[in-house]
Amino acid sequence: MANTCKQDKGNIGIETHNQLIWPFANAPADFYALRGMMKKAIVIGASSGIGRELSKILFRNQYAVGIMARRIDLLLELRNEMSNDVLAEKIDVSETDSAKEILTNFIKKMDGVDLLVICAGTGHLNEELDWTLENETIITNVTGFAAIANVAVKHFIKNGSGHLVGISSIAALRGGRESPAYNASKAFESNYLEGLRQKVVKLGLPITITDIKPGFVKTAMAQGDGIFWAADADKAAKKIFNAIKRRKSSAYITRRWRLVAWLIKLLPGFVYERL
């Protein structure tokens, strides 16, 4: 790998600290002026799947991009694909206290952020109700998600603008026997985002809160035999970027899942419970 890394108090970054943000030490002044004019985006959960593909799309569309995830080796591979000008840092959203501090410092390193996307999450098929798996899902998708969103929205309120995007799921719409904690955690994410949206609207601030509900996407988290209409991660990321540009409150990815959502919500409980 081209970049040498070191670990400092649990966080891994590029060896020369100031190069983590400004790798081109001899760049002309107009380079820095241009950088200051670019929109700044942070993608959490950028090491694989939708987060990885969305990071590349944002970079190609002239965002100054910061990428975060647990697996720093995959982040640095992505950074090498994109540019040495991409800031990368390790974060584990399940460790909420440290994750909040790491994200706060990361935002400072980027000199602020305009767009923050939460792609980090986990889920398991768990018909045996293994509590270890249920608890891991809850800690990551509920407590971790809320902690990250909390930092982001407080930053946007302080600065008077911003855009928070949360990747929930169509699973948020109803409970699921194969993965009870996953469906419930995604319902939490959607409701939490709605509460934050209501808050910023009440404040009268130009802050957008977007809830992205993907159907099946071809990633490592797509499990089970009943998968259909599965989109490639890059296609899903393109659709998400379109929703970001339009500053939508919510979007199903891909659009055909809107029909599925409508049917799911219409099903009476006594029918749904027997599926």
Contact between 16 and 133 under an 8 Å Cβ cutoff? The reply is no
**How many whole angstroms separate alpha carbon 61 and alpha carbon 55?**
10
Catalytic residue among 32, 63, 182, 252: 182
Active-site annotation holds for 252:
no
In the three-class reduction of DSSP (H, G, I as helix; E, B as strand; rest coil), residue 83 is classed as coil
Which position has the token pair 């767009």?
115
Q: Please, is 28 exposed, middle or buried when counting C-beta atoms within 10 Å of its C-beta (0-12, 13-18, 19+)?
A: exposed
**How many whole angstroms separate alpha carbon 227 and alpha carbon 264?**
16
Closest CA to 64 of 78, 44, 82, 89: 82
Angle at 38 between CA 103 and CA 23, to 5 degrees: 70
Catalytic residue IDs: 182
